[in-house]
Amino acid sequence: MKKLIFTGAGVAIVTPFHPDGSVYYEKLAQLIEEQISCSTDAVIVCGTTGESPTLNTEEHTEVIRFAVAQVKGRIPVIAGTGSNDTAYAAMLSMEAEAAGADALLMVTPYYNKTSQEGLVRHFTHVADRVRTPIILYNVPSRTGVNILPETYARLARHPNIAATKEANGDISALAKTIQLCGEDLTVYTGNDDQITAFLALGGKGVISVLSNVAPEAAHAIAAAGLAGDFAESARLQLEWLDLCNDLFCDVNPIPVKAAMNLMGMEVGPCRLPLCEMSEGKLARLKGTLERHGLLCG
């Protein structure tokens, strides 16, 4: 069995920006400290929620370095290093490894996409060039390509490919992936509304958007399931289901950043092409936050 990178709830943390769009590092440090104090089990930087597509190479590598320095080994730091350009993904992965990241999160190639054979070659090319464990990231709603269970089985044979963040919503495919890969591939869900279901099938946790606004809740859902108390995990999952859903009522991370700003966290705007939510969606999100007691005053 490959070494577990983490179990429980890891936060797919936002990248806070100043009003002028520059990275707000002081705020990022504050967010990381708050997550650690709330028992978050890992921090994932430069992912989708961290707006990696609009971070230039210098910003991308600096955010990773900054997070590693801020965390100081207290929990794992997982760095998003995926790209639709295999050579660029390898370069980012080597930079993240040099910065001290504990694991690399690699999304499937997007836009140009590829075949299942192309996926194997893409991820293998990068995995051959680093020693840091890789978490694959399957999110076909964003990328237009889906990793099949049989492809996971091939990729799991590589000693550096340790896990996947599965966000295709297909529970039947998840079951087959776990059946085929066994202990060679750790599975995390990328969907906050499916934490309990993944854990029941043998998953080890969640890479969570919800954790940005309710880290203790995400941690509790995962902890209960990992302890075998699926009744309690399910109870909490359903209690927070409305917020899990509303955090995706617009393109991620638009809603979660709006929620954090409503909560007084001052994480700033999203970078274009992402823009503000409609007034109707914002009102809906605000109402859900109020129901959960997450708004002050």
Kindly state the DSSP code that residue 21 receives in the 8-state scheme: S
The answer as to whether 247 is a domain residue is: no
Query: Mind listing the pLDDT tens digit for each residue in 82-122?
Result: 999 999 999 999 999 999 999 999 999 999 999 999 999 99
Other Cβ atoms less than 10 A from the Cβ of 80: the count is 28
Mark out the alpha helices in 22-147 (DSSP H runs): 25-37, 57-71, 86-99, 116-127, 140-143
Query: Mind listing the pLDDT tens digit for each residue in 127-141?
Result: 999 999 999 999 999
Q: What confidence category does residue 198 fall into, taking pLDDT thresholds of 50, 70 and 90?
A: very high
Structure tokens that stand for 88 in this block: 């660029």
Q: How far, CA to CA in Å, does 27 sit from each of 39, 66, 165, 267, 284?
A: 19, 12, 26, 7, 26
Which of the residues 24, 137, 152, 188 is marked catalytic? 137
The answer as to whether 41 is a domain residue is: yes
The answer as to whether 208 is a domain residue is: yes
Which of the residues 165, 188, 204, 257 is marked catalytic? 165
Who contacts 51 (Cβ-Cβ below 8 Å, separation ≥6)? 14, 15, 253, 270, 271, 274
Structure tokens that stand for 211 in this block: 């954790």
Give percent of the chain with pLDDT exceeding 70: 99
The answer as to whether 93 is a domain residue is: yes
Distance, CA of 250 to CA of 289 (rounded, Å)? 16
pLDDT value for 297: 57
Of residues 192, 189, 187, 297, the one with CA closest to residue 239: 192
The answer as to whether 137 is a domain residue is: yes
Single-letter amino acid, residue 169: G
Other Cβ atoms less than 10 A from the Cβ of 20: the count is 8
Distance, CA of 291 to CA of 284 (rounded, Å)? 11
- The domain in which residue 214 lies consists of 8-239
How would DSSP label each residue in 158-190?
STTEEEEEE-S--HHHHHHHHHHHGGGSEEEES
Is 165 one of the catalytic residues? yes
Mean pLDDT of all residues in the chain? 97
Is 25 one of the catalytic residues? no
How many folded domains does the chain comprise?
1
pLDDT value for 296: 72
Query: Mind listing the pLDDT tens digit for each residue in 52-76?
Result: 999 999 999 999 999 999 999 999 9
Distance, CA of 71 to CA of 51 (rounded, Å)? 20
CB 184 within 8 A of CB 2: yes
CB 275 within 8 A of CB 52: no
Distance, CA of 208 to CA of 199 (rounded, Å)? 14
Q: Is the pLDDT reported for residue 174 higher than 60?
A: yes
Give percent of the chain with pLDDT exceeding 90: 98
**Domain harbouring 105, CATH code:** 3.20.20.70
Q: Which residues of 257-269 are buried (b: 16+ CB within 10 A; e: fewer)?
A: bbbbebbebebbb
Sign (positive or negative) of CA dihedral 187, 83, 108, 133: negative
The answer as to whether 269 is a domain residue is: no
The answer as to whether 259 is a domain residue is: no
Q: Is the pLDDT reported for residue 239 higher than 90?
A: yes
The size of the chain, in residues, is 297
The answer as to whether 287 is a domain residue is: no
Distance of CA 174 to the CA centre of its chain: 17
Q: Is the pLDDT reported for residue 259 higher than 70?
A: yes
Q: Is the pLDDT reported for residue 254 higher than 90?
A: yes
- How large is the average pLDDT for residues 167-194? 97
Containing 80, the helix (H) or strand (E) segment is strand 77-80
pTM for this entry:
0.96
Q: Is the pLDDT reported for residue 161 higher than 60?
A: yes
Structure tokens that stand for 93 in this block: 């992965």
Query: Mind listing the pLDDT tens digit for each residue in 200-234?
Result: 999 999 999 999 999 999 999 999 999 999 999 99
CB 193 within 8 A of CB 244: yes
Q: Which residues of 156-175 are buried (b: 16+ CB within 10 A; e: fewer)?
A: bebebbbbbbbbbeeeebbe
Q: What confidence category does residue 3 fall into, taking pLDDT thresholds of 50, 70 and 90?
A: confident
- How large is the average pLDDT for residues 124-128? 98
Who contacts 117 (Cβ-Cβ below 8 Å, separation ≥6)? none
